[in-house]
Structure 1
């Protein structure tokens, strides 16, 4: 019998991933095995936390000298990266630790590149532009959303371009990820919602990305290789956990079980999209985020139900599988795939994610600008399971602006 559906799987992950309550107490010992001079990249809110001071004390107790850069700015403007590099140029770290949300971990990644290879941040845009290994990275997330602790990408805000741009290279994957849900207990409800919605978007887009023709050179030629059997495993875990725990964590930040479930979701979603990639929701968010100055997680999550609705004709089976993953009632494939989209929209509304681009603050006259500029994110556009052209992008953007998801059912 001929096998007409061969399996393909690919993952690129840290050498070590530690997950669970109290795992931050391994940072000092783990760092000392790598180097003796650690740069910590974080933000002012995080550096003031008692847990951060405990991390510094743990590093010192293990003989690690530290330098703290705590001026990381959300969305990571290039000027902030350059300020960090200039500040630590005389310190010569042999390990870089990112402690915080996605921007702090991405700061650690890009600074490690510049300290190792020099040059301008802009010279590393795109895929595979980092020429070789970088100073070892340790990532310690304090939110449950971006998954940056396990991914090969960092996103920076290029002020000159007026755009967010990705640097994608396997060399950016941290050597060690230490994921301690106790570090997320202080996240306020809005940040919990935004982060968890980001994780959901990562997982759904990774699970529904276009599956590429199987080729032994796929991972050699692309950082993000599309839907595959290994990334699918992590994407489903993430979706299940977000649906089980997001609203709980949003309503009660002290619910440590919910914090655990959400951090595992974010980690699993990172494992999924770090290899499979993301698609149209992320492509559209780049210009939306630049125009509205809103959080990445809010932007992609606002767009997600509309992108899912547009993609549904190409994703019926995938959405049915996700519907079963979260325990929706059995029915026809059409009904179940639509039910999953509706359930995602309902969950996002329950945690106060804006329901439309208008509610997010996008000016009405910028809808076509968003559609046109989203097409510039070629690595995301090519990943989308249903082909995208300007007319398709405009249909998604206009439906998302007006809040009319039904308008996409007939396209």
Structure 2
């Protein structure tokens, strides 16, 4: 293993453990006296929200709540939140919920400091400087947004979702309380966990670039490196061993804790290494079918692994041995056993085996392949060279379920 290059970016504070949501009041008060909470309607009307509001009040933090977060985070919703709460002049933004709530907090923080148009920030390193401090509190275990430099939004002027990637977007504080995932439904637990596993797998198998001085100041996602590898391997071990139990025995706090820790580790891994083919292809699949991100990722990952294996056989073998699938044999045997094990796990937790089950149409495959190539940073990060023809071959297999 090449050990000469690594990049680590993370929140200033990362607090993990059951019950740690009770640290919010003190954490927020250390950053300011006015807090804006970004969440959704369900959470805004829950006992959890009242508990958090009481804690903030006890620490003399005044609060406004925006409860209009929508799935897939449309740009119009971000502007609505900013317009409603700009005069409040929040000193800290708190994102509570799934990935969209945390990404909303990041985007509102950005637009509270810097002007429109939002499109000027699309891509990497376009955020001009620090944003309003963000506290991220996930209630699902999947996106890793609580620790990543990314916000993904839906812009009606674009065919697929777009990303803003900058170290400035990393939340100041992440509070990861596994108790908040206990009420997460089985189906959402499954697809969120599949997404988290894919984050770790794709970070670990991403292309390894020559360690040019200053690369981390020029690329948000530098590819496979010695620091992201450690988080990625730990994430895959935790998620593979515990996801099925978290899905099927949702009250098991140990399994929930392991999957949430794995998801956070995966976020730390891909936040510097980046992701690859499954994510590049999911964006247009999701746009075409209006299906959840993690669902598309779960369907696609085994097929992208089959495509990539010839370029990263030893890497996939290391993954297989780390998750306990194959302790011996050749790299070839271990790598293919690992792919089969991932496919089997996803099937056991209810992930569909084909894109056809997501209502993808044969006549849309060429367009999906072409749009996938538009995710340049993901395509370039893939361990095997991707072009429109090879993406189409992955799609064909994913449609057949073979």
TM value normalised by structure 1: 0.96
- Aligned twin of 2:60: 63
Once residues 344 and 166 of structure 2 are traced to their aligned partners in structure 1, the CA distance between those partners, rounded to angstroms, is 35
- Aligned twin of 1:401: 399
8 Å CA contact 1:40–1:97 kept in 2: the answer is: yes
- Aligned twin of 1:318: 315
1:337 to 306, 330, 335: 335
Secondary structure at the residue paired with 1:266? helix
Once residues 201 and 25 of structure 1 are traced to their aligned partners in structure 2, the CA distance between those partners, rounded to angstroms, is 30
The reply on whether 1:346 has 2:344 as its aligned counterpart is yes
TM value normalised by structure 2: 0.98
Secondary structure at the residue paired with 1:313? coil
The reply on whether 1:391 has 2:381 as its aligned counterpart is no
- Aligned twin of 2:370: 372
- Aligned twin of 2:277: 280
The reply on whether 1:195 has 2:192 as its aligned counterpart is yes
Q: How many aligned residue pairs are there? A: 401
Once residues 121 and 5 of structure 1 are traced to their aligned partners in structure 2, the CA distance between those partners, rounded to angstroms, is 39
8 Å CA contact 2:199–2:270 kept in 1: the answer is: yes
Structure 1 stretches (4+) deviating beyond 3 angstroms?
A: none
Q: Which runs of 5+ in 2 are unaligned?
A: none
Deviation track 1:218-251 (CA, whole Å, cap 9, x = no partner) reads 1011000000011000001111111111100100
Once residues 166 and 367 of structure 2 are traced to their aligned partners in structure 1, the CA distance between those partners, rounded to angstroms, is 29
Q: How does 1:290-329 map to 2 (within 5 A)?
A: 290-329=287-326
Once residues 54 and 303 of structure 2 are traced to their aligned partners in structure 1, the CA distance between those partners, rounded to angstroms, is 47
Q: How does 1:126-145 map to 2 (within 5 A)?
A: 126-145=123-142
Secondary structure at the residue paired with 1:327? coil
2:181 to 181, 184, 199: 184
- Aligned twin of 2:234: 237
8 Å CA contact 2:3–2:226 kept in 1: the answer is: no
2:245 to 245, 248, 255: 248
The reply on whether 1:41 has 2:38 as its aligned counterpart is yes
Q: Which runs of 5+ in 1 are unaligned?
A: 405-411
RMSD, aligned α-carbons: 1.0
Once residues 3 and 167 of structure 2 are traced to their aligned partners in structure 1, the CA distance between those partners, rounded to angstroms, is 26
Per the TM alignment, residue 5 of structure 1 is displaced from its structure 2 partner at its CA by: 4.5
- Aligned twin of 2:264: 267
Once residues 80 and 289 of structure 2 are traced to their aligned partners in structure 1, the CA distance between those partners, rounded to angstroms, is 25
Once residues 256 and 47 of structure 2 are traced to their aligned partners in structure 1, the CA distance between those partners, rounded to angstroms, is 19
The reply on whether 1:213 has 2:210 as its aligned counterpart is yes
Once residues 49 and 194 of structure 2 are traced to their aligned partners in structure 1, the CA distance between those partners, rounded to angstroms, is 26
Q: How does 1:36-185 map to 2 (within 5 A)?
A: 36-185=33-182
Secondary structure at the residue paired with 2:154? strand
Deviation track 1:297-338 (CA, whole Å, cap 9, x = no partner) reads 111111100000000011111111111111123211111000
Per the TM alignment, residue 268 of structure 1 is displaced from its structure 2 partner at its CA by: 0.3
Secondary structure at the residue paired with 1:18? strand
Secondary structure at the residue paired with 1:158? coil
8 Å CA contact 1:114–1:120 kept in 2: the answer is: no
- Aligned twin of 1:407: none
Once residues 143 and 198 of structure 1 are traced to their aligned partners in structure 2, the CA distance between those partners, rounded to angstroms, is 11
Per the TM alignment, residue 48 of structure 1 is displaced from its structure 2 partner at its CA by: 2.0
Deviation track 1:364-395 (CA, whole Å, cap 9, x = no partner) reads 21111111100000010000000011111111
The reply on whether 1:26 has 2:23 as its aligned counterpart is yes
The reply on whether 1:357 has 2:367 as its aligned counterpart is no
Per the TM alignment, residue 354 of structure 1 is displaced from its structure 2 partner at its CA by: 1.4
| Residue 335 to residue 392, structure 1, CA distance change in 2 (3 Å) | same
Per the TM alignment, residue 361 of structure 1 is displaced from its structure 2 partner at its CA by: 1.4
Once residues 196 and 42 of structure 2 are traced to their aligned partners in structure 1, the CA distance between those partners, rounded to angstroms, is 22
The answer to which of 133-142 and 117-126 deviates more is 117-126
The answer to which of 321-330 and 181-190 deviates more is 321-330
Secondary structure at the residue paired with 1:382? helix
- Aligned twin of 1:258: 255
